[in-house]
Each structure stands twice: as structure tokens, then as C-alpha cells.
Amino acid sequence: MLETIKCSWQRFKTDPPGKRFQQQFKRRHEVARTPLQKALVLGGGVLLTAVGILLFFLPGPGVLFVLLGAALIAQQSLTVARALDWTEIRLRKLLARSFGVWRHFSAALKIFLVGLAVVGAVAVGFGAFKFLTA
């Protein structure tokens, strides 16, 4: 099973951005699956997405859970696969622009921004801790 997951991941990585999720959807539907298997994949995706949304408000890898859940849902829904491909292209452009701007910042400004992010993360973590232990 681990080999199957590795192989699937390698194929996913080699697909061109903007077509990855749709190609994965097509590959998934070439293989005959029982309704139970389809329901389990879809249910797992919905469950992971819900857990990820809950983890947004708690310390933890919420974004990772949401992404994994969305990827599972995209294997069963062409509409979701298209939406994720569309989103991937826009995020890649945004990240490229952001890194371009970041490179032009001075070292002092970079240190200040990273420090500000750390202080913000500590404040959010402390607030979540106080909220959960109150």
C-alpha cells in the first residue's frame, strides 16, 4: 500500500501545475471502485477538512489537514479538482511575487518582520492556551 501511495505521489508531482488534480481525478476513475470505497474516500476527505478547520483555532497543522482533505475530495469530484487546479495557479503566482518583494527588503526589515511574526504566533498560542485552560 505504501508503494501505491508513493507511486501516486510521484505521478501527481510530475503532472503540470493547473492540471494535477484533474489528472488525478481521471486516473482515479479509470480504476473500478466500489461505491463503498468512493464513499470512504469522500468521507475521509470531508473529515480531514473538518478537522483542519477546527485546528485553525487551535495550535496544530490545520492548513495541512484542509489540503489533504480537499485533495481526497478532489479525487471524487471534478468540480473540486478544477477549483484546486485554479487555486494552485493563483497561489504559485502570489508566492512568486511575494518572494520577489521579500528579496528586495533590507536585512533589518526582514529581521523585524520575522520577529513580529514570532511575537504574533506566541501571542496566539498563549491566547489559545488561556482560552482552553480557562
Residues 69-124 pLDDT 10s: 998 899 888 999 999 999 999 999 999 999 999 999 999 999 999 999 999 989 98
Considering the domain boundaries, does residue 74 fall inside one? yes
Considering the domain boundaries, does residue 70 fall inside one? yes
Considering the domain boundaries, does residue 127 fall inside one? no
Considering the domain boundaries, does residue 60 fall inside one? yes
Considering the domain boundaries, does residue 111 fall inside one? no
Domain region containing 49: 2-104
Averaged pLDDT, 20-38: 86
Q: How many domains does the chain have?
A: 1
Nearest of 72, 36, 38, 37 to residue 52 by alpha carbon: 72
Contacts of 131 (CB under 8 A, 6+ apart): none
What does the pLDDT read at residue 87? Answer: 92
Considering the domain boundaries, does residue 121 fall inside one? no
Mean pLDDT for the chain?
88
Averaged pLDDT, 47-67: 85
- Asked whether residue 1 carries a pLDDT value surpassing 80, the answer given is no
Output the CA torsion sign for 17, 87, 62, 26.
Answer: negative
Q: Decide if 28 contacts 77 (C-beta within 8 A).
A: no
Averaged pLDDT, 7-33: 87
pTM: 0.68
119 or 2, which is more confident: 119
What does the pLDDT read at residue 79? Answer: 92
What does the pLDDT read at residue 34? Answer: 85
Considering the domain boundaries, does residue 97 fall inside one? yes
Considering the domain boundaries, does residue 117 fall inside one? no
What does the pLDDT read at residue 86? Answer: 95
Quote the CA–CA distance of 38 and 29 in Å, as a whole number: 10
